[in-house]
Amino acid sequence: MEKRYTRIALFVGLVLVTCIECYAQTKITGSVTENTTKKPLIGVSITVKGTVAGTITDNQGQFALTTTAPLPLTLVVSSVGFQTREVAVQSQSALAIELQEQVMLGQEVVVSASRVEESVMKSPVSVEKMDIRTIQSSPAATFYDALLNMKGVDMSTQSLMFRSVNVRGFSANGNTRVVQLVDGMDNQAPGLNFSVGNIAGLSELDVESVELLPGAASALYGPNAINGLLLMTSKNPFQYQGLSAYAKTGIMSASNRSKATTPFYDAGIRYARAFGNRLAFKLSASYISADDWQASDTRDQGFANGFTLGTGNRQNNPGYDGINTYGDASANLSAFQSTVAQLLQLPPAQIALISPDLAQIIGGVNQLSAATKIPATQIINDVLLPNVTVSRTGYSESQLVNYKVSSLKLNGALHYRINDNLEAILQANWGTGTTGYTGQDRFYIKGFSIGQYKAELRGSNFFVRGYTTQERSGDSFSIGILGQGINEAWKPSLDANNLVGSWFPQYAFTYAGGALQTFSTALQQALATNPATAYQTAVNAVNSVSANLHTAARASADQGRFLPGTPQFDQAAATVSGRPLPGTLPNLGAKFLDKTSLYHGEFMYNFSKLIDPKTVELLVGGNYRQYALNSGGTIFALDEKKQEYNITEYGGYAQAAKTIADILKLTGSVRYDKNMNFKAQFSPRLSAVLTLAKIHNIRASFQRGFRIPTAQAQYIDLNTPTSHLIGGLPTFQQKYNFAFNPVYTLESVRAFGAALQGGAAVPVAAQSLQPYQRQEWSPERVETYEVGYKGLLSNKLFIDAYYYYNRFLNFEGAQVVVQGLQPATIDNPVSLQQLVSGTTRTIYSFYVNAPIQVKNHGWAVSADYLLPGHFTIGGNVSFNDLANRGSLPSGFVTFFNTPKYRYNLSFGNRNIRNSGFGFNILYRHQDGFLWESSYANTEATLRQQTTIPAFGSLDAQVSKRIPGIKSILKVGGTNVLGKLYTQAWGNPSVGGMYYVSLTFDELMNR
């Protein structure tokens, strides 16, 4: 641990300044007022351009600033809601500065697109920005929820506390394609490799801006920013001082919840203070608690026994697989045909020792066979144990999960200006929360926490920083495994040493007993009237009462079932949820342990002080990162020293830009990255921005991005009830002896099993088997082409539009293979048959590269218009689709998961006729679309039945500014019409949320 911190400390220290020169000091004073009312403006930021020196105006709008920068110099004057001004200072005389209200968009400054400040109008790539005013006027319950109002942004709601941001297709609940940075720190959970919403992010009071880069951003930001980059910047305590606080409360309402309407509570506080122009600090905290949205979809996604999503349920389908039902493991009655056939050969007395009921069934079959000359195996296969899937009686999510969710965030920072050109920062962000998450299963993320701790040194043209991210999984657990574990606790599904004490055999033999009785009676009656059709008549008689037979079989097998709310159920739930993954049957464990950490160091240097930017703008940067995996051996593999692995990667980049004739800016950048497990990656970017008449900006760009496989994709080694999940690295295929005990694709094993059931001989059926041939596993890459336009027409109409085209190479997908206990060969039929039996085979799942290219494209347009009286009306529409959908192989799963069209419409006014009243109304709509995920049943996915319905949602808010106490009172709601919607398969249904909030901003500002 000490060595790791030492390396980062040395990295940070590379650019430390060893001496500070003394300069003559210049004192600048002045005042800042609003240009129409002439009223003084409080808290306006005054900075010396090209330095970190600065101050803010006091309660009278006055400021005084001392700097070592010589005259003449330029001051940058900025304040929320006003146009930023640059003021030339020639002497030390007092300045009288006026600011004009910023009404239209297009006047913002962004840094994410090129890592340097530039006008959003002239950004070389698409950029969306949300500032403090946007947050204040948004009807969304939180600033993070307001991201959904940006054009082209999709979100999947897994909980009130966890929304995942998705951009330009390939959406996911835990999106590893979008990188989320908070003050330059990668906000991902290191063991998951995606950000858990804003649980460990910023308090709303401390947010200065949020910038979104849709599309690849690897050229400047490194691995994984393949679909987008989200950059959140907090408030500097020098510029935003005083005490701020908010309190928000209201109700959440959804008809599918156990209690439809419940309250929620949200509060936060921030305090910042500067001591002169050198030292400043800030502290903030926020807390929210609520009863969560509930996932309660009871539709049958298994498609077993001929049922569909719309027709199957627990009452009519023995093999029911509810979307949000857990513990409903399944088996086929025909799987017990061989067991009963073997019992036919045993003496009745020996069978009676196993089970008197079973002995009675075997005896009845033998008697019928002897009397009718019908083979006993035929009676067993056709009547007693037919090809019917049955599943255990599961539990709903509300029976397994306490829907109480919460989030606590604590943030603090200490800033020290060593001189006018150098600022040191120590920062800590810590968050903990309880929320839901949908991955391969539904998870209850309970007591989860992330801490991020940073040391940074920065100047006007460089920074160097080091930080660590510490993840703790708390008491989080898998809901699906919890349901299965509870069922296994009261009765095992299948115990070969105790068949009659196991659930599936009890079900099968009870069904067989009832079927035998019905068949025997019907057969005797039919033989007396029509012997030629007697057998089929008796079979039909059994089929006609099969529903009753299944009901009786379930009632028998469910004897002793733990009912929700009973002490036995609660004890079993506590035991299973507290036992680490995966456990062993029947003692399953649902708790996942993860204390993975991330260590990161990086720097950036802009040569603007050495090379005139008019000649060329040049910057360089680099980074080093290490993941220290730590799951207590429950999730990740161990090396030869019985330690979990560390993953290291490093990279560097350079960017050059040239402006020609003040109308054309050309930018080129290239980045090199190396991960210890993969070949080096090069990520270039080329862009051009043409400015015409100072208001029309046309841009074009090409860039390449890439995504390093996640830590779990590389090193997972987890044996689950359905399959063994292993990393895609070669070491795992060596560990599990793929070379000497061949594995076969799951699809070919299914075909082999179907051929055997159809009566084919083993050698003939074996022709269906396809051995898996390993290919090199490489990071996924994308090549992006984009053109766009930004324009501000008549200072009233702001238009932003783009079109993009993506070509994915080495597209990442999952491979599922089957391995028998012994090497499966043609000359050993028994070894081949092991592949189709659950007790004599292992199913492995790991990531591979798909041998095809995947292409997608899309466009988006936004327009905002300023009406008289400062009313604004706006909207945006986006289109995303697979460009080569028709040429993809049948059955190929892309996980595109994106509506083809979505749009937002808004109308509002921040301050109606200077009355302090404001409002905003926003309507959102998106098309229905197909959601593909590992959570959905494979059969439902292959049938393309996992669709998310189209929906629309209306949000609104009314606000009143109260200047006397520097406050804003806001009343609003999201999805105010209350129509339920869901954004991903298996996710909760989102209802209406209605709130009232009071925010005090920068009280006690000195």
Here the CATH number for the domain that contains residue 21 is 2.60.40.1120
Q: Is residue 25 part of a domain?
A: yes
Tokens encoding 41? 């403006």
466 or 893: whose pLDDT is higher? 466
Query: Which residue in the block uniquely carries the two structure tokens 């120590």?
Result: 426
Q: What 3-state DSSP class applies to 893?
A: coil
Reply yes or no on whether the pLDDT at 577 is more than 90: yes
Q: What is the mean pLDDT of residues 484-489?
A: 96
Of the pLDDT bands very low, low, confident and very high (cuts 50, 70, 90), residue 120 is confident
Cis amide linkage into residue 386, ω under 30° from 0: no
pLDDT at 721: 64
Cα separation, 800 vs 788, whole angstroms:
8
pLDDT at 12: 45
Angle at 615 between CA 686 and CA 653, to 5 degrees: 40
Q: Are 180 and 167 in contact (CB under 8 A)?
A: no
pLDDT at 16: 42
DSSP class of residue 372 equals H
Q: What 3-state DSSP class applies to 803?
A: strand
Q: Is residue 404 part of a domain?
A: no
pLDDT at 19: 36
Reply yes or no on whether the pLDDT at 22 is more than 50: no
Q: Taking the CB of residue 867, how many other CB atoms lie within 10 A of it?
A: 11
pLDDT at 13: 47
Of the pLDDT bands very low, low, confident and very high (cuts 50, 70, 90), residue 4 is low
Q: Are 784 and 806 in contact (CB under 8 A)?
A: yes
Q: Is residue 58 part of a domain?
A: yes
* Residues in CB range of 793: below 8 A, 6 or more apart: 695, 799
Q: Are 247 and 264 in contact (CB under 8 A)?
A: no
Q: Is the sign of the CA dihedral 32, 37, 38, 42 positive or negative? A: negative
Reply yes or no on whether the pLDDT at 347 is more than 60: yes
Q: Which of 146-155, 579-588, 836-845 has the highest mean pLDDT?
A: 146-155
Query: SS in 3 state form for 1-47?
Result: CHHHHHHHHHHHHCCCCCCCCCCCCEEEEEEEEECCCCCECCCCEEE
Reply yes or no on whether the pLDDT at 20 is more than 50: no
Q: Are 881 and 857 in contact (CB under 8 A)?
A: yes
pLDDT in tens, 519-551: 999 988 988 888 888 889 999 999 999 999 999
DSSP 219-267: HHH-TT-SSEEEEEEEPPTTTS-EEEEEEEEEEEE-TTSSSSEEEEEEE
Cα separation, 316 vs 424, whole angstroms:
67
Reply yes or no on whether the pLDDT at 100 is more than 60: yes
Q: Are 769 and 748 in contact (CB under 8 A)?
A: yes
Cα separation, 232 vs 222, whole angstroms:
17
Q: What is the mean pLDDT of residues 366-380?
A: 87
Query: Which residue in the block uniquely carries the two structure tokens 């733990």?
Result: 562
Least-confidence region, from 254-258, 368-372, 924-928: 368-372
Q: Are 47 and 69 in contact (CB under 8 A)?
A: no
pLDDT at 115: 59
Of the candidates 2, 3, 5, the residue with the CA atom closest to the CA atom of residue 601: 5
Helix/strand/coil percentages in the chain, nearest 5 = 20, 40, 35
pLDDT at 14: 43
pLDDT at 10: 47
Of the candidates 513, 478, 494, the residue with the CA atom closest to the CA atom of residue 725: 478
Least-confidence region, from 17-26, 84-93, 493-502: 17-26
Tally of structural domains, the chain = 1
Q: Is residue 19 part of a domain?
A: yes
User: What's this model's pTM, rounded to 2 decimal places?
Assistant: 0.90
- What's the mean per-residue pLDDT of the chain? 90
Alpha helices in 774-911 (DSSP H): 829-833
Of the pLDDT bands very low, low, confident and very high (cuts 50, 70, 90), residue 117 is low
Q: Taking the CB of residue 938, how many other CB atoms lie within 10 A of it?
A: 14
Least-confidence region, from 194-203, 465-474, 811-820, 988-997: 811-820
Q: Is the sign of the CA dihedral 342, 343, 348, 354 positive or negative? A: positive
Q: Is residue 24 part of a domain?
A: yes
Cα separation, 681 vs 673, whole angstroms:
5
pLDDT at 833: 80
Written as one letter, the residue type at 794 is: S
Cα separation, 188 vs 207, whole angstroms:
18
Q: Is residue 499 part of a domain?
A: no
Q: What 3-state DSSP class applies to 731?
A: helix
pLDDT in tens, 675-687: 999 999 999 999 9
Reply yes or no on whether the pLDDT at 836 is more than 90: no
Reply yes or no on whether the pLDDT at 87 is more than 50: yes
Reply yes or no on whether the pLDDT at 973 is more than 70: yes
Q: Is the sign of the CA dihedral 430, 435, 439, 441 positive or negative? A: positive
pLDDT in tens, 62-76: 988 888 888 889 999
Q: What is the mean pLDDT of residues 243-268?
A: 97
Residues of the chain above pLDDT 90, percent = 63
Tokens encoding 915? 């009355």
Cα separation, 654 vs 618, whole angstroms:
7
Tokens encoding 507? 């079900």
Tokens encoding 855? 């292409």
Cα separation, 45 vs 79, whole angstroms:
6
Are β-strands 279-291 and 178-182 bridged in parallel, bridged antiparallel, or unpaired? unpaired
Q: What 3-state DSSP class applies to 311?
A: coil
* Residues in CB range of 828: below 8 A, 6 or more apart: 822
Q: Is residue 573 part of a domain?
A: no
pLDDT at 922: 98
pLDDT at 114: 62
Identify the H or E element spanning 85: strand 85-89
Least-confidence region, from 331-345, 652-666, 849-863: 331-345
Q: What 3-state DSSP class applies to 559?
A: coil
pLDDT at 671: 94
Reply yes or no on whether the pLDDT at 209 is more than 50: yes
Reply yes or no on whether the pLDDT at 108 is more than 70: no
DSSP 563-579: PTTSHHHHHHHHHHHHS
pLDDT at 1004: 56
Instruction: Quote the strand ranges of 746-779, DSSP E.
Output: none
pLDDT at 350: 84
Reply yes or no on whether the pLDDT at 18 is more than 60: no
Residues of the chain above pLDDT 70, percent = 95
Reply yes or no on whether the pLDDT at 391 is more than 90: yes
Distance of CA 508 to the CA centre of its chain: 41
Are β-strands 872-882 and 901-909 bridged in parallel, bridged antiparallel, or unpaired? antiparallel
Q: Is the sign of the CA dihedral 630, 632, 634, 638 positive or negative? A: positive
Instruction: Quote the strand ranges of 379-528, DSSP E.
Output: 389-391, 395-396, 404-419, 422-438, 442-458, 462-472, 477-478
Cα separation, 653 vs 679, whole angstroms:
17
Q: Is residue 646 part of a domain?
A: no
* Residues in CB range of 173: below 8 A, 6 or more apart: 156, 158, 164, 437, 438, 439, 933, 984, 987
Of the pLDDT bands very low, low, confident and very high (cuts 50, 70, 90), residue 113 is low
Q: Which residues in 533-562 are b (16+ Cβ under 10 Å) and which e?
A: ebbebbbebbeeebeebbebbbebbbeebb
Q: What 3-state DSSP class applies to 871?
A: coil
pLDDT at 611: 94
Alpha helices in 333-412 (DSSP H): 337-343, 348-354, 356-372, 376-379, 397-400
pLDDT at 512: 93
Cα separation, 838 vs 724, whole angstroms:
13
Provide the residue range defining the domain that includes 64.
Answer: 2-99
Cα separation, 51 vs 67, whole angstroms:
9
Tokens encoding 654? 């350079």
